[in-house]
Amino acid sequence: MPRILLISDIHGNIEALEAVAERLKEEEFDRACCLGDFVGYGPNPNEVIEKILAMEASGIEMRHNIGNHDGAAIGKYEFVNIRNQETLARVMEEGVFASQLEIIKAYKKQETRKYIPVKADAEETLTWTIERMTDATRDFLTTRLEERIQIMEGVISVHASPRDVSFEYIRDEQSALKVFESNTMDKVKICFHAHTHFPVVWSLPAEERMSYGGSTIIMSEVSSTHDEFVKLDSSNLYLINVGSVGQPRGDDRRPTYVIYDSEKRTVQFHRVEYDSSATIQKIQEAGLSDDLVSRLLPNDVVESDEDDDDEFEG
């Protein structure tokens, strides 16, 4: 039975990806999944795709989910900072929306989603990225990314959530519960996801997920753990956030990757040391937001990520 490597949210940070790739030379795994957001925020979108292609050329079998930044980079939708009055006026000139609230309501429905409300740094760096993407990068993002990957029977991967593959944040027990009770988890034992940049394992006893009157009812609370090594119980259902390579958040800013051993039913989170100073220098030289620099600072000078947890995408 295979050992699966899972990585996500590289976000144009080639130094972090190279550090992970170097560590992976010591790992044994059979194939890999990258859960999306190859670009956005970081200063090296093209180099990241080149590195992924080089890893594949070296013999690593890889499949890739599409992230929200990836989708915006290829024009599936547009990142907009609607707190900026000029941006808001431009969007409203189309005559479709009459207010910020209408834009946000349309975003929250998948069928009407066109503009994605984001913070200023996300809009700025995505525009910067689009202007600099090579044809090879654009082709990779357009042709190689999948919304939902069937890793093996009962095991899937998505970028954000099986309910909303590119955008829903699973941040707490309540949001995890909504996913567990949705029909997108039918026949799914384990869903690997990312998007929040925080590694965590959410679990629920399978017997507590019951169908009644055409609806799914959850009869117990969702449990969570941040342990680096987790032995999976065959009687449980799992949502497993694999964290981020290029822009980890929280108290530990080291890049993260995960090895899932399907035979031993274990999940191991690995942290990798790297020097973020080169990435920070490139961000500064490009004239991008200082917020992007603060997110890459070493652990001993980390500031709170509370400002990331608001109604706008980040």
In whole angstroms, give the CA distance from residue 164 to residue 108: 10
Rounded mean pLDDT of 33-47? 97
Contact criterion met (CB below 8 Å) for 40 and 12: yes
Give helix 120-132 / helix 45-57 axis angle, nearest 10°.
60
Residue 41 tokens read as 């925020």
**Amino acid 300: pLDDT:** 59
**Amino acid 307: pLDDT:** 42
Task: List alpha helices for the chain, DSSP H.
Answer: 14-24, 45-57, 68-73, 85-92, 100-108, 120-132, 135-143, 173-180, 277-285, 290-294
Fold of 3-74+133-308: Purple Acid Phosphatase; chain A, domain 2 (3.60.21)
In whole angstroms, give the CA distance from residue 89 to residue 104: 15
In whole angstroms, give the CA distance from residue 100 to residue 83: 8
Instruction: For the chain, give every domain's residue range.
Output: 3-74+133-308
Percent of the chain beyond pLDDT 70? 95
pLDDT > 90? residue 313? no
Rounded mean pLDDT of 12-16? 98
pLDDT > 50? residue 69? yes
